[in-house]
Structure 1
Amino acid sequence: MQMLNASTTSPLIDATAALETALAQVAQPTAVCEVPIAQALGRVAAQDITAASAMPHFTSSAVDGFALRLAGARPAQRRLPVVATVAAGARDVPSLAPGAAIRIFTGAPLPEGAEAVVPLEDVEEADHEIILQSLPEEGANVRLAGSDQPQGAVLLNRCERIAPHHIGLLAANGVRNVGVFPPPRVAVLSTGDELTTAPLGPGQIYDANRPMLLALARAAGADVLDAGVLPDEQEALAERLAELAGLADLVLTSGGASVGGRDPLRPAFAAAGGTVAAWRVAVKPGKPILLGRIGRAAFTGLPGNPFAAFVGFHLFAAAQIARLSGRTTPPFAAFRGKANFAWKRRPGRQEVFPVRCLGTDETGLPLLERLGNGVSATLFPVSMADGLAVVAADCAEVASGQMVSWQPFSMG
């Protein structure tokens, strides 16, 4: 790792290389804890969980209707006596004799001898009899034992983040506890003399980055630590960084990492014992990103402008949190869309910008509209966006109809 001082102006680092550097600062977890499935939402599975038995456990009816024994229901015999009723949860299920029918409800065990179920709406009822319009096929409206899920099927994969449908599936299979990785601890700190959480004074702005980054880190599965706001004062910042290094797996800051005379983050980081792995990335917005380690913690310093901080989180911090959580995630902006705009730009840096989906073309590709004017200080265009799109550093022009890479917010 290289050491950079406050006066160093280094070449810009390629965004792909910067991501590799960011991921090199963090490691997959090794500790495992067991939690009840009711507490497992959002956690990451530490091992595969497989089905102890096939599902469903017994053959049952898929509809409300009448169980039939087809051998005893000849086409000429349109009337069948209804001799019993079987509801879901029944334990004492009668056998079905030839020439009769049993009323059955969805999920109820299929009586022995029954070969099909005719839906309630396909028959007429009169005087404890049913009148058949036609005979069903053998096996119609019947859920066979083991037809949904075989014994040994993987219910939950190792390194998969647990969603509500996983919890339902585990519960259906009688799983009550699951081994998970502990969530990473992420500390979030804002820096800047101009920031406040109180009513605004002259020259002040509200701190947007810290609440946003805390929310993003929490949504990514981290256990977050709100480290507050500090002014641009090197000694106090160094002291706070050294403290956070002992409390978190990842320290995430915003502001103070540029080349201006009032940007104290790098000297404070060095004074606190931090080691710089990379600084200044060829990405727009978000060039002044600092990556490294401090004590036992990884460190990612994001820009102070809110949209630049938002982009930096998605490009680098989100991937770090995923690795710290034990997850494997696809590359950022792995989805394809079609530009519904024309745009000329100055090449040299990978550029990330908000887009809105206007529908799809005839092939099903999303049609993407570019939002905003490239200003990194505002989040307003993001509030109307459906995701973030990316163009390569060497791209000078995007033509209408051109393929672009993007990341839907719903898939983040």
Structure 2
Amino acid sequence: MLAVDDAVALALSMVAPVRESEAVGLGHAVGRIAARTLCAPRPMPFFDQSAMDGFAIRLGDLDGEGPWHLEVAGTVAAGDSPSGAALPAGAAWRIFTGAPVPRGADAVVRAEDCTDMGALLTVRHRPREGANIRPLGSDIARGAELVAGGTRIEPRHVGLLAANGHTTLDVVRRPRIGILSTGSELLSRAAPDGGRIFDANRPMLIALAERAGAEAVDLGILDDDRQETARTLARHAGRFDMLISSGAVSVGARDFVRAALLDAGGRVHGWKVALKPGKPAMFATLKRTAYLGLPGNPLAAFVGFELFARAQIARLAGAGGDGAVEVRALAGFAASRKTGRTEFVPARVRDRSPEGLPVLETLGNGSSGTLHALCQADGLAVIPAGVSGIAPGDPLGFRAFAPSGAGPGTGDAA
């Protein structure tokens, strides 16, 4: 069996970043991956800009000891243009935050440091040279990097790009992921009948893939038929960056996916992982398409996606890292277990240690066939393969679920 880290490395080795890109409006760029580095087309600010409401003055007009009296020769507000006019000698311009500083002015004195008498101004304190002026290019130089290629775009990036005049952005094409379920017992719509059940995995995996930044395509449900499975896989080979199936990857008499994939011309690179739940995971390629076969039990399918498919989608999209964050945590429970497999258990943060680490309690009865405990959890507790017994206070790993509304990737434990 593959160790979990080795299985992740194998999964990543089967995919390469998508090369195609497309232009999208900034309003649709959040969560997408920048296809190239963008640099500032001009310096920022675009002009010498007032940082305060006050008066633009020339320090050379403040002779001797103050206070000093100046004529107010004009007004300039944000959005106005001084039209190249110079500040007259012995005069000041009333100026507002964000306005362009008139030529010849070398300081802006704050309104609270003046006595404003309308047409006349009394300056009570001499400002330093350049006071309250944001010089042209002082924030961002022309040609400075704004967003590096491979960055996952967040709202803060949108704001920066918009401030620099960008309205569209070249982003990496979303990875195309085909998702299917296997099992003659599965239903998609009709009411359960006899021994048949609803298909939970395919809708869940589609949602996970979309949230990870992929374009997920629903390929439906395949019956437990080796020939039909092989024909379906062959038909979709090369049409997608990756295929994900759930079910029929173990060693039962009706577990046909591995054999069907070989019939379709595929190649299996790895099978079975020292993982609980999710041991029968299969890693394969079919022409240019990566293939991930996940177990049919819903919790095992979820864990397999989080460990393997999320990392693969991140690499396909050209994003740095795999989007998953595992933090240190402490057990708030006692348990005994068999060694040999890394275990991922739905868990809730019960408390915080004095050092601020999450203290976890596990949920559910250990079954991988239900998602009920998962939906009450804050994340997945990670129990190392070599651990046979757990006592309160023992160290664990913890993968917190992303908060509702978050983009691709997982959240932290805060």
Q: Which of the five TM-score ranges fits, normalised by the shorter chain?
A: 0.7 to 0.9
TM-score, length-normalised on structure 1? Answer: 0.84
**1:89 alignment partner in structure 2:** 79
**1:189 alignment partner in structure 2:** 180
Question: Which of 220, 228, 235 is the equivalent residue of 2:220?
Answer: 228
Task: Give 5+ residue unaligned stretches, structure 1.
Answer: 1-11
1:179-214 CA-partner distances (Å, limit 9, x unpaired): 443322100001223322223333333222111211
Residues in 1 aligned to 2:262 and 2:214: alpha-carbon distance in whole angstroms: 26
C-alpha deviation, 1:241, in angstroms = 1.8
Cα contact 1:42–1:162 (8 A) shared by 2: yes
Residues in 2 aligned to 1:135 and 1:305: alpha-carbon distance in whole angstroms: 75
**2:50 alignment partner in structure 1:** 61
Cα contact 2:32–2:171 (8 A) shared by 1: yes
C-alpha deviation, 1:57, in angstroms = 1.8
C-alpha deviation, 1:297, in angstroms = 1.3
C-alpha deviation, 1:145, in angstroms = 1.7
Question: Which of 38, 41, 44 is the equivalent residue of 1:52?
Answer: 41
1:119-171 CA-partner distances (Å, limit 9, x unpaired): 55666655455666755554443322222122332222222223333333233
Identical-residue share of aligned pairs (%): 43
Cα contact 1:339–1:399 (8 A) shared by 2: no
Residues in 2 aligned to 1:200 and 1:193: alpha-carbon distance in whole angstroms: 13
Q: 1:242–1:141: structure 2 CA closer, same or farther, 3 Å change rule?
A: same
**1:300 alignment partner in structure 2:** 292
Q: 1:371–1:87: structure 2 CA closer, same or farther, 3 Å change rule?
A: farther
Cα contact 2:349–2:361 (8 A) shared by 1: no
1:11-410 mapped onto 2 (5 Å cutoff): 12-33=1-22, 37=26, 40-72=29-61, 76-77=66-67, 81-92=71-82, 94-97=85-88, 100-120=91-111, 125-128=116-119, 136-198=127-189, 199-330=191-322, 332-333=324-325, 335-339=326-330, 341-346=332-337, 347-357=339-349, 363=355, 365-373=356-364, 374-410=366-402
1:93-139 CA-partner distances (Å, limit 9, x unpaired): 55445664433222111223434435556666554556667555544
Superposition CA RMSD, Å: 3.0
- The SS at the match of 1:247 is coil
Q: 1:130–1:381: structure 2 CA closer, same or farther, 3 Å change rule?
A: farther
Cα contact 1:339–1:398 (8 A) shared by 2: no
Residues in 2 aligned to 1:135 and 1:385: alpha-carbon distance in whole angstroms: 62
TM-score, length-normalised on structure 2? Answer: 0.84
**1:3 alignment partner in structure 2:** none
Residues in 2 aligned to 1:260 and 1:48: alpha-carbon distance in whole angstroms: 50
1:231-255 CA-partner distances (Å, limit 9, x unpaired): 3233332222222224212110111
Residues in 1 aligned to 2:89 and 2:130: alpha-carbon distance in whole angstroms: 16
Residues in 1 aligned to 2:87 and 2:376: alpha-carbon distance in whole angstroms: 61
**2:406 alignment partner in structure 1:** none
Q: 1:67–1:19: structure 2 CA closer, same or farther, 3 Å change rule?
A: same
Task: Give 5+ residue unaligned stretches, structure 2.
Answer: 403-408
Residues in 1 aligned to 2:21 and 2:270: alpha-carbon distance in whole angstroms: 31
Residues in 1 aligned to 2:186 and 2:330: alpha-carbon distance in whole angstroms: 37
Count residues with an aligned counterpart. Answer: 399
C-alpha deviation, 1:319, in angstroms = 1.4
Letter in 2 for 1:274: G
Cα contact 1:66–1:103 (8 A) shared by 2: yes
Residues in 1 aligned to 2:131 and 2:352: alpha-carbon distance in whole angstroms: 39
